[in-house]
Structure 1
């Protein structure tokens, strides 16, 4: 078995022609830019493009195949010079079975099956060209279609206060919306980790995935996983999610939940932290409260969070969060050491000190060892590293 770094949730901001796909995504998030940046700068081995259903995105992939820049992997997915691309689609469900909108991730094995899925989606969406669109079928019907096409189905960023399974979508249980037998994994999101998520007993049966949900090139691989597989392909990824035939997720790498944008409950107007049971902000008087992930999980708690057999969840601080590490210094690190994965995982502290200021190098090393303190984020604002 080999080990591969995998980020399965990257958005397309614009097509090759400039048409918007993820409206809130950066214009630089074109398919070609993403695959180059993810492989050559970030050091990823497998990525999931989560807007592959968009017809212009599919056309660009086919053009690159014809030009010889991409190849179809025999085990599913596309290959770009050693890095694999998994074709996915993020969709929104909001019907009579839900309490509010929730997002899901659907992955298909081949370009042909994604094209079939796109044609089917077009009859159930208002705009097939855009990302994260509401689909006018039930969650169970969507699951059945994905499975009919040999796909993988994963609820997305499940605790985020907006547009997620437990944040808005259900009152108590995923069975209100989904068939639990047709779920292949649970995506945690930036404001929770394994210990927090395992306080819900109904998701003990599923593997947890940690992905970036990147809306810009810089955000790629802010969360990811290390997966043991024979090769980076769709078929091998499917086996790893099942922990079958020796394939497995070996480790999850994600933000310390305090760095996430929705960890604590805050006032939506002034971002003052709010006790979980308060309904009005004592600072500004606003009644608009954004419930934090930590408080929502406490409401739903049915277990102690010590589920055995999970891969380790390693709190990762992306380089862009490191104080004093600006774009020029980051570029210097990449030019010298190759990729962000190399700096985060393998470059010795002494080597870092020879290239960048000692204080910054020590901060990177402390981040790798889990020795930093944080000020928790909330209400859409990221947490940050506490003064050292």
Structure 2
């Protein structure tokens, strides 16, 4: 029987077991073990993709958990730790002769053996295998071929972000300028776009859309995620869901309203004034450093709004930490009472909430669940915000 599971497939590792940086901008307590504990015990996420698993020290930490009896490999791929399944992934920066700018992609491998072989290959194509999101020296298609040779999954990451993404700066108009479309298993939308925006681009109709957190800290895990109908969380089931095989599929995308993303609108990178998309020089401060917003970039690329694929609902949510008046102690009280963030966000009734938190905050949580929060748009690297009433 197929069951809905929550999954966040883009989480970074800040530090390895030796205390050395993996994602330099990641939190120091964002270790592989802490990610698994936070996801299982507090977040209530059923499957996570840790996309720095190519780093040898991260693989060693997984092996240590297995040798200690705290985790084990699944027959269908992935690592089980308590109530969460780990998929072994790698975020890689591609910048070959066909790219206008660097592109980030996610590669998932089914087993420790496969990710180890992938890492060995990457050492011939990358200067520092111990770090996250490193520049890969080779063609994008060559990378795709290697991932498929190792029975992996290939997903372009945060495809509209102005920097280091497929449509942000990577291609002029089409993904076929750089990638083999037949070797793409799905695409990740990123924080500044949603299903309706992305589906204006015809060549994306063939792919399942993913919404992931790109977490650089424990708190940011599951700020975006999806509900996936599977037999159980595993590598094989995830792959089948991406291609909608035998009833497996993404059934809901949960993401922040695109206006909350850092790059939704076109802004001046110096004074953050919101500007028309064709602005060359900021009329407010005179800066010529203009960051084109995701909304405006999609307007350049769109080919109409005749959607050719039935999509799951895209439900606007924000992390609990975004809610006005939700402090650390109140958050801890909610977790003590209701166990996980997924329970609080999806299941706990208003009547139950007001027994623990002020009525105003309970209303915020219900409004968030229903996608009714008022927000202030972000842009130019500055997040949007929830308006307090």
Counterpart in the other structure of 1:76: 77
Counterpart in the other structure of 2:246: 245
Matched, 1:142 2:135: no
Counterpart in the other structure of 2:39: 38
Equivalent residue of 1:250, what SS?
strand
Counterpart in the other structure of 2:12: 11
Q: How is 1:1-388 mapped onto 2 (pairs within 5 angstroms)? A: 1-304=2-305, 306-388=307-389
Q: Deviations over 1:279-325 (max 9, x none)?
A: 11111011110110000000101121644411111111210110010
Provide the C-alpha distance between the structure 1 equivalents of 2:185 and 2:239, rounded to a whole number of angstroms: 8
Provide the C-alpha distance between the structure 2 equivalents of 1:82 and 1:215, rounded to a whole number of angstroms: 22
> 257-266 or 301-310, which moves further after superposition?
301-310
Provide the C-alpha distance between the structure 1 equivalents of 2:306 and 2:70, rounded to a whole number of angstroms: 45
Provide the C-alpha distance between the structure 2 equivalents of 1:378 and 1:340, rounded to a whole number of angstroms: 27
> Please, what TM-score do these two structures have when normalized by structure 2?
0.99
| 1:183 Cα deviation after fit | 0.2
CA contact 1:195–1:305 (8 Å) conserved in 2: no
> Please, what TM-score do these two structures have when normalized by structure 1?
0.99
Equivalent residue of 1:271, what SS?
coil
Give structure 1 regions of 4+ aligned residues with deviation exceeding 2 angstroms. 305-308
Provide the C-alpha distance between the structure 2 equivalents of 1:303 and 1:12, rounded to a whole number of angstroms: 39
Provide the C-alpha distance between the structure 2 equivalents of 1:358 and 1:343, rounded to a whole number of angstroms: 15
Provide the C-alpha distance between the structure 2 equivalents of 1:237 and 1:130, rounded to a whole number of angstroms: 26
Equivalent residue of 2:61, what SS?
helix
Structure 2 alignment gaps of length 5 or more: none
Equivalent residue of 2:252, what SS?
strand
Q: Deviations over 1:342-376 (max 9, x none)?
A: 01000001111110111111111111111121110
CA RMSD of aligned residues (A): 0.8
Q: Deviations over 1:78-99 (max 9, x none)?
A: 0012311000000000121100
Equivalent residue of 2:363, what SS?
helix
| 1:106 Cα deviation after fit | 0.1
Equivalent residue of 1:88, what SS?
strand
Provide the C-alpha distance between the structure 2 equivalents of 1:288 and 1:59, rounded to a whole number of angstroms: 43
Q: How many residues align?
A: 388
| 1:386 Cα deviation after fit | 2.2
